[in-house]
Amino acid sequence: MKETVMWKKLLAAVFLIALVAWAALEFFVPTASEGIKDILFWTGMLAVLLTVTEVRRVRA
């Protein structure tokens, strides 16, 4: 159970950091590399996907 809580906190942190970094690059630094923005965006989406998968696994 402790590992599950740790994973949830880690995934939430990864998502938040990736989202904030992506938004900052997207809206405040429009000249930033598209590749970096894509990596941050998809890192955030992967964190969301893993979070949803973990929630479904725990509920099952």
Domain containing 19 equals 2-59
State how many domains the chain has: 1
**The model's pTM:** 0.61
Reduce the DSSP state of residue 32 to 3 states and report it. Answer: coil
Helices 34-59 and 2-28: crossing angle in degrees, nearest 10, is 150
Radius of gyration (C-alpha) of the chain in whole angstroms: 14
pLDDT on residue 1: 59
pLDDT on residue 53: 83
pLDDT on residue 47: 81
Q: pLDDT tens digit string along 4-48?
A: 678 778 877 888 888 888 888 888 877 767 788 788 888 888 888
pLDDT on residue 40: 80
